[in-house]
Structure 1
């Protein structure tokens, strides 16, 4: 039994190492050890195994690690029917081409939102949305859409989070969620990020259940509050099409 616990713990630690690369592309041994709070000798042994199996690559010039080709080999076998990031990308590209701004797809993950896909604007000045970014649910158009259409326990978890920012009024936040459910979309104007604006809508599957949040974002110089409200019906139309594509 003790041997089994040690084996499982080793797997957990190896997975923790791989998860470090959701935040940064290249990491040193010291950076990884600090991130997961393990001794460098332990991390080095795990990295050696991961490197042998092709899950990480070590750059001999910089002594830094990055994800290996084995990760990409595994991703090839994701089912399009089960993976919205793959399934919905063509429709997201159509929406980007129509509106000219960056289009993102978010999933609810605990008390965070996770950007699982992004189609960048082709304009010279644009908002870059990195895939894999994890953001809180307290502010932002897509955050509020995800909470507004999620089960009530998600809202309670967010409201009771110890990380709730003092600058956000809970009563006003709840009122915003009610308004979002009424009109079917949310907007944000320099709410989370200076100089950025966004409109977000829910993607509901054929059962009417929340599948994801679809967001269009860009610089405030092109996306005024009036512009956000004008393009909202276009984004809602795209989300409706995407919802019909989702496998139940």
Structure 2
């Protein structure tokens, strides 16, 4: 049992090292050790093992570590069946139809994570980097993920002490109920000045919420009236995406 615990802990530490590369493309040994809170000697042994297996490589010129080719091999196999890749064509279609940036978000505990994005081709646009982690307390897609997601998880989030003080829980819950009835959510400069978004839910093959489909852009283009006009197009795109996933299209 003790050996099993040590093995699991070693895997956790190795994964912590790998996760450093979600926020930067190259890292020095000291930087990684400080980030994961481990001794340099421990991190060095882990990196040596990861390098031997092809998951990282060390640039001799900079003495920094980068992701190795084995990651690309894994990614190629993952993307072949990745729903976010399957939905990319529909996202491009919606981008061309509405002229704004289109994104997919999923919930990860108390955050939302952008797992796919198609950038607007307009000169002034919302730039949406894939992998961005944003708070679940503001934004159209956040409201969709809460309104159409698991009720128990939603209630637990609203009950947490970390919930922003200015946000009235009862009023927010009422807003989520309205969103569930409408089938979509909007936000206007909630998280970022000058930005607006409209979002609708995508359901997977079991009828559960898979992701929030979001169309975002400058608030001077996505006014409240414009977002209401475009809501049917966004909901229809979300329905088609659900059908591509084998979902209910609810």
TM-score class, shorter: over 0.9
Partners of 1:169 and 1:28 lie apart in 2 by 44
CA deviation map 1:173-213 (0-9, x unaligned):
11110110111110111101222111000012355321111
SS at match of 1:77: helix
Q: Which residue of 2 aligns with 1:39?
A: 39
Q: Which residue of 2 aligns with 1:74?
A: 74
TM-score (norm 2): 0.91
1:92 Cα offset (Å): 0.5
How many residue pairs match? The answer is 247
Q: Which residue of 2 aligns with 1:17?
A: 17
Contact 1:23 1:132 in 2 (8 A): no
1:62 Cα offset (Å): 3.3
Partners of 1:65 and 1:74 lie apart in 2 by 19
Q: Quickly say closer, same or farther: Cα 1:43–1:245, change in 2 above 3 A.
A: same
| Corresponding position: 1:173 with 2:208 | no
Moved more, 46-55 or 96-105: 46-55
Q: Which residue of 2 aligns with 1:210?
A: 209
Partners of 1:167 and 1:239 lie apart in 2 by 32
| Corresponding position: 1:132 with 2:128 | no
Task: Give the unaligned 5+ runs of structure 2.
Answer: none
| 1:46-65 mapped onto 2 (5 Å cutoff) | 46-65=46-65
SS at match of 2:102: strand
Give the RMSD, CA atoms, in angstroms.
Answer: 1.8
SS at match of 1:192: coil
Partners of 1:67 and 1:54 lie apart in 2 by 8
Partners of 1:132 and 1:143 lie apart in 2 by 15
1:79 Cα offset (Å): 6.4
1:75 Cα offset (Å): 1.4
Moved more, 44-53 or 2-11: 2-11
Q: Which residue of 2 aligns with 1:116?
A: 115
CA deviation map 1:126-151 (0-9, x unaligned):
11111111222111110110110112
CA deviation map 1:210-234 (0-9, x unaligned):
1111001111232212222221111
CA deviation map 1:5-48 (0-9, x unaligned):
32222111111111222233333333322222212221122122
Contact 1:148 1:181 in 2 (8 A): yes
Partners of 2:130 and 2:39 lie apart in 1 by 30
SS at match of 1:201: strand
Q: Which residue of 2 aligns with 1:241?
A: 240
Q: Which residue of 1 aligns with 2:183?
A: 184
Partners of 2:124 and 2:58 lie apart in 1 by 34
Q: Quickly say closer, same or farther: Cα 1:221–1:65, change in 2 above 3 A.
A: farther
TM-score (norm 1): 0.92
